[in-house]
């Protein structure tokens, strides 16, 4: 793998948190890219997801970003509860409270599509377990811009609807087990 990648985006919903923690552990200690995690969560209910993910032994800096925050390399950003997370030209974060997409805010599609526009072929997007089709269109945008799109093998997903929708919609995705996705992530700095 080359150093061409500048951003890694991971999206998921029901059944994805165990895989997300496995993927965070796979990040190389000296990773040089920005990481965005977009997970469907209940809205208007206190959430400790940031603390849970940060405590999973990665030792990496993970935070929910602020609106207009400048994106930094070697950082992990968790989409805040009940906001769409978009990447703007100039590599800043925009938080948006517009209508849910596929009943979800944050929407994986919204983030993946904005990442595709800003990062193009330097983006890697991964879609995990979930119960709706959010993320399928976003992966299509990543592939169209020359980025890498990966989908969790539906046979390994607790809720296969989300990864299966992405496979049905996209011919340019890699379908991998969680262990193979982790191995791929580990090679991103090489």
Catalytic-labelled residue, pool 84, 129, 134, 137: 134
Residue 134 catalytic? yes
Distance, in Å, from the CA atom of 182 to the CA atom of 190, rounded to the nearest integer, reads: 14
Residue 40 falls in the annotated catalytic set: yes
Q: What is the DSSP letter of 79?
A: P
**In angstroms, rounded to a whole number, what is the distance separating the alpha carbons of residues 175 and 179?**
12
The catalytic position among 34, 40, 109, 129 is: 40
Between the two ends of the chain, the Cα-to-Cα distance in Å is 6
Residue 148: CB atoms within 10 Å: 22
The CA distance from 127 to 107, in Å, is 12
Distance CA 67, CA 126 (A): 23
186 as an active site residue: the answer is no
- Return the active site residues: 13, 40, 134
């Amino acid at each position: 793998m080359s150093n061409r990648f500048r951003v890694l985006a991971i999206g998921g919903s029901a059944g994805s948190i165990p895989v997300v923690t496995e993927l965070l552990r796979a990040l190389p200690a000296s990773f040089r890219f920005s990481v965005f995690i977009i997970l469907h969560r209940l809205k208007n209910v206190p959430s400790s997801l940031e603390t849970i993910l940060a405590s999973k032994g990665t030792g990496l800096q993970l935070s929910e970003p602020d609106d207009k925050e400048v994106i930094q390399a070697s950082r992990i950003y968790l989409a805040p509860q009940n906001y769409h997370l978009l990447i703007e030209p100039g590599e800043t974060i925009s938080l948006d409270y517009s209508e849910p997409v596929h009943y979800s805010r944050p929407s994986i599609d919204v983030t993946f599509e904005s990442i595709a526009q800003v990062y193009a072929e330097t983006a890697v997007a991964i879609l995990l377990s979930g119960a709706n089709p959010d993320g399928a269109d976003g992966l299509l945008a990543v592939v169209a811009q020359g980025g890498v799109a990966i989908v969790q093998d539906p046979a390994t997903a607790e809720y296969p609807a989300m990864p299966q929708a992405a496979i049905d919609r996209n011919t340019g995705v890699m379908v991998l087990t969680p262990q193979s996705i982790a191995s791929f992530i580990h090679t991103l700095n090489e």
